């Protein structure tokens, strides 16, 4: 590909995860199964919370948006990955590539700050329970969610604007299964130092600031729990945030492993495995983590089924 402005580049080739036809078939079946579970799990979580009035609380309001984000950013990556695995055509247009990147960064960045909002909600519930209804008002909840989306939008817009103006002349082969920033940087023949630094600062700030906020919230929660005298009280307090803490740990550990590490430790194989985990697997795990560990969600499912059965008997 000749050196020319990136806006004239016709497209890229996603090399994917493997060249083996047998492995591609196995992966396509596995990813399709995971994606179906992701769609059913997250859609089901949203419907359960919407249908049960007892779940119309700040915590489940945030959980609704978390399910929406997981469903959305899995859908940004997985269908195209399945298409590439099942066909010999692995191309993606310039516009399609940067559109995929835009929405992926938007949704992932939004999730970082939504998880921070959920941590704050748990902090207020445990450390300041008497004032919880007043502090976690509908106005504050909507403001936190809106702010999360705005931050994600700004981060993704900045990244895509800078990267789409790079020159690409080395190759059009993206050594990845979706349009991520690192493998696209590798294709550019422009001086990428300043652009890469700006994007790294922006993305790093998003991850680190949200992680610092979450860590501060949970340190305060831990301090409060340790002051509770009864063992039953401690278990009850911890159970209210155990699911969220598990989800945060899985999400941030893979993000940090993939993006916030020295280039000298880069490994295409390891990074692709980590990318599969946080783009395809984690969106499936979140509804399972929150539903299986949350008695309120289980009780809500029972109430909805009983109500439906009651309506059927009346008919």
CB under 8 Å to 122, separation ≥6 — which residues? 59, 217, 218, 221, 240, 241, 244
Residue 213 included in any domain: yes
Residue 42 included in any domain: yes
Q: What's the CA gap between 78 and 237, in Å, rounded?
A: 37
Residue 126 included in any domain: yes
Total structural domains in the chain? 1
- Output the pLDDT for position 135: 95
Residue 154 included in any domain: yes
Q: What's the CA gap between 74 and 101, in Å, rounded?
A: 12
Q: What is the CATH number of the domain that holds 128?
A: 1.20.1070.10
- Output the pLDDT for position 3: 42
- Output the pLDDT for position 204: 82
Tell me which DSSP letter residue 13 carries: E
Residue 1 included in any domain: no
DSSP element (H, E) containing 11 = strand 11-14
Query: Over the stretch 18-34, which tens digit does the pLDDT of each residue have?
Result: 888 889 999 999 999 99
- Output the pLDDT for position 2: 41
Residue 205 included in any domain: yes
Q: Which residues pair with 174 in a beta bridge?
A: 14
Query: Over the stretch 210-269, which tens digit does the pLDDT of each residue have?
Result: 999 999 999 999 898 888 888 777 787 787 788 888 888 888 888 877 766 655 555 556
Task: State which residues of the chain have pLDDT below 70.
Answer: 1-9, 170, 259-270, 292-294, 308-315
Residue 100 included in any domain: yes
- Listing DSSP states for 91-126 in one string gives EEEHHHHHHHHHHHHHHHHHHHHHHHHHHHHHHHHH
- Output the pLDDT for position 9: 59
- Output the pLDDT for position 16: 81
- Output the pLDDT for position 269: 62
Domain that holds residue 162: 6-314
Q: What's the CA gap between 107 and 242, in Å, rounded?
A: 24
């Amino acid at each position: 590909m000749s050196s020319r402005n990136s806006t004239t580049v016709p497209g890229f080739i996603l090399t994917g995860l493997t060249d083996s036809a047998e492995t591609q078939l196995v992966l396509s079946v596995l990813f399709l199964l995971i994606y179906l579970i992701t769609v059913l799990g997250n859609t089901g979580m949203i419907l359960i919370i919407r249908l049960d009035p007892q779940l119309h609380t700040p915590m489940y309001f945030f959980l609704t948006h978390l399910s929406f984000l997981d469903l959305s950013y899995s859908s940004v990556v997985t269908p195209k990955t399945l298409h590439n695995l099942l066909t010999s055509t692995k191309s993606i247009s310039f516009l399609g590539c940067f559109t995929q990147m835009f929405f992926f960064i938007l949704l992932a960045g939004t999730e970082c700050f939504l998880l921070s909002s959920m941590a704050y909600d748990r902090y207020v519930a445990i450390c300041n329970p008497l004032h919880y209804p007043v502090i976690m008002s509908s106005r504050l909840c909507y403001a936190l969610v809106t702010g999360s989306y705005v931050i994600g939008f700004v981060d993704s817009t900045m990244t895509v604007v800078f990267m789409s103006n790079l020159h690409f002349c080395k190759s059009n082969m993206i050594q990845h299964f979706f349009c991520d920033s690192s493998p696209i940087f590798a294709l550019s023949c422009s001086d990428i130092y300043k652009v890469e630094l700006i994007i790294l600062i922006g993305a790093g700030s998003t991850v680190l600031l949200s992680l610092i906020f979450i860590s501060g919230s949970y340190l305060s929660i831990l301090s409060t729990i340790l002051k509770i005298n009864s063992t039953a009280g401690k278990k009850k307090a911890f159970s209210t945030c155990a699911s969220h803490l598990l989800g945060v740990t899985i999400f941030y550990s893979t993000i940090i492993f993939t993006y916030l590490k020295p280039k000298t430790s880069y490994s295409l194989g390891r990074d692709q495995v980590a990318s599969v985990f946080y783009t395809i697997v984690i969106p499936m795990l979140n509804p399972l983590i929150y539903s299986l560990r949350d008695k309120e969600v289980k009780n809500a499912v029972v109430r909805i089924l009983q109500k439906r059965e009651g309506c059927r008997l009346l008919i």
